[in-house]
């Protein structure tokens, strides 16, 4: 089973760091929700972030009860 966190991975592509980027996108939106597709598009432009890393970041935020899913949107709970 692969590890979620590894000491050999780039820290800028870790779930907490990408989660922070997702939270910044949520904060910039008017109604505290952002499309999953917009997140993927923005992250891909910023430096080769793959879908698995975005998925782990969303799961990280969901496990901390910071976001909720309302397909196809991520919604901030605060």
Tell me the domain boundaries of the chain.
11-76
C-alpha span between 42 and 1 (Å, rounded): 29
Residue 10's pLDDT band, with cuts at 50, 70 and 90, is confident
C-alpha span between 3 and 22 (Å, rounded): 22
pLDDT tens-digit readout, 17-27 = 899 999 999 99
pTM recorded for the entire structure: 0.84
Residue labelled with tokens 């505290």: 32
- One DSSP character per residue, 6-24 reads -TTS-GGGSHHHHHHHHHH
**Mean per-residue pLDDT, 52-56:** 89
CATH number of 11-76: 1.10.10
31: tokens are 């109604």
Q: Could you tell me if 40 and 54 are in contact, meaning their C-beta atoms sit under 8 angstroms apart?
A: yes
pLDDT for 4: 62
Secondary structure of residue 70 in the 3-state scheme = strand
């Amino acid at each position: 089973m692969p590890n979620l966190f590894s000491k050999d991975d780039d820290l800028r592509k870790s779930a907490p760091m990408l989660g922070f980027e997702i939270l910044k996108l949520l904060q910039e939106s008017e109604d505290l929700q952002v499309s999953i597709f917009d997140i993927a598009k923005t992250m891909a432009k910023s430096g080769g972030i793959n879908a698995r890393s975005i998925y782990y970041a969303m799961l990280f935020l969901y496990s901390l009860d910071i976001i909720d899913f309302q397909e196809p949107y991520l919604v901030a709970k605060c």
